[in-house]
Amino acid sequence: MPRYIGLDVHKATCTMVVLGPSGKKVSQHVVETNAELLVDRLRTIARTRHLCFEEGTQSAWVYEVLSPRVDETVVTVKQERRGANKDDARDALELADKLRTNSLKVRAYKEVGRYGRLRDLTKVHGMQVRDSVRLQNRILSLYRSRGIDTSDSLYHPDHRAEWIGKLPARMQTAAESLLRQYDAVEPLRRETEKTMVKEARKQPEAKLLATVPGLGPIRVAYLMSIIVSPYRFRTREQLWPEFDKLGAFWAVTDSSFPKISSIRLRPDLEKHRHTTSFVTVADPVCPGVLDRHVPAHDQAA
């Protein structure tokens, strides 16, 4: 007999509510947020087990720990509840009931498969890129505030003293501190980037994706870590936003997407519609083909 489990996850404790197929509450438990204790509690629930919890800071960890112990795991996007007091038991009950009635509107995809390490590296790389850009903006703002034009040599250690000397004495210490911070962050970013690209190239899809115009090694790494599998999307229309973020103009086609017969170009490519065509490339990794946007003059080469 199926059991529908709603889990409200928090830092210290998790509230678990179990419903039967008719919607009757079978049991309710408050468990410490600990992998071993959560697994032990799940084992006391009869199969088949259907588990639902909300997307959050610990959702990836909870999915990794509990999904092998249940028959179905659903992660849903957290819904804002206005004008209501916080009640963990009520939230868990609502999750279980929505899972039972199949009324969850949005589901999050948590499976990472063999891309787990690559996904962690891309997250760290993204953080380091943002830190590096933020530091550069702060440094540039110091020079702009004094009406001083800058160039890339500002960040080179050999020209450091010259650039700092252009600022008033009271601002030189601040500029030197920011530049030293940049010197510490930038090598770490480059090291992470090399490791990320190396890890991405271990995947068999990377070589094929690298042939797509507009996709370099960094974009390929991000693309694989974000999408994981194109087969989790019902149609290409759900897949497009991920490609648009990276400036990619291609789509995977196979028997999973029989209803889509056209490929949408980004608005800034519409004017080139009549000078471009699509090349079909055999995909050795998964069944189907890869359609990619290629300028007409590049095909001859």
- The number of domains in the chain is 3
Residues 42, 124 share a domain: no
Residues 148, 79 share a domain: no
Residue 222 lies in a domain: no
Last residue of a domain, one of 108, 139, 155: 108
pLDDT band at 32; cut points 50, 70, 90? very high
Q: Which helix (H) or strand (E) holds 110?
A: none
Residues 168, 79 share a domain: no
Query: Facing residues of 280 across strands?
Result: 291
The answer to whether the beta carbons of residues 189 and 132 sit under 8 Å apart is yes
150 — alpha (psi -120 to 50), left (phi > 0) or beta? beta
- Helix, strand, coil proportions of the chain in percent (round to 5)? 50, 20, 30
Q: Which helix (H) or strand (E) holds 224?
A: helix 217-227
Query: CA angle at residue 180 from 178 to 184, to 5 degrees?
Result: 115
Residues 101, 46 share a domain: yes
Return the biggest CA–CA distance within the chain: 77
Give SS3 for 30.
Answer: strand
Residue 41 lies in a domain: yes
Residues 180, 250 share a domain: no
Residues 248, 183 share a domain: no
Residue 219 lies in a domain: no
Residues 156, 103 share a domain: no
Last residue of a domain, one of 82, 108, 134: 108
Q: In this predicted structure, what is the pLDDT of residue 172?
A: 92
Question: Burial letters for 227-250: b for 16+ Cβ neighbours within 10 Å, e otherwise?
Answer: bbebeebeebeebbeebeebebbb
- What phi and psi, each to the nearest 5 degrees, are found at residue 5? -110, 120
Q: How far apart are CA 295 and CA 278, in angstroms?
A: 8
CATH number of the domain within which 63 lies: 3.30.420.140
Structure confidence by residue, pLDDT tens digits, 127-159: 999 999 999 999 999 999 999 998 889 988 888
Residue 207 lies in a domain: no
Q: Of 254, 296, 299, which is closest to residue 275 (Cα–Cα)?
A: 296
Residue 7 lies in a domain: yes
Q: In this predicted structure, what is the pLDDT of residue 255?
A: 34
Residue 139 lies in a domain: yes
Residues 100, 13 share a domain: yes
What is the extent of the structural domain holding 235? 230-300
Q: Which helix (H) or strand (E) holds 298?
A: helix 296-300
In Å, how far are 130, 225, 264 from 241, measured between CA atoms? 21, 15, 11
Residues 9, 77 share a domain: yes
Given a cut of 70, is residue 231 above it in pLDDT?
Answer: yes
Residues 94, 125 share a domain: no
Across 200-217, average pLDDT: 85
pLDDT band at 209; cut points 50, 70, 90? confident
Residues 237, 163 share a domain: no
Residues 136, 101 share a domain: no
Residue 209 lies in a domain: no
Residue 158 lies in a domain: yes
Last residue of a domain, one of 153, 181, 200: 200
Q: In this predicted structure, what is the pLDDT of residue 249?
A: 42
Structure confidence by residue, pLDDT tens digits, 272-296: 444 333 333 333 333 333 333 333 3
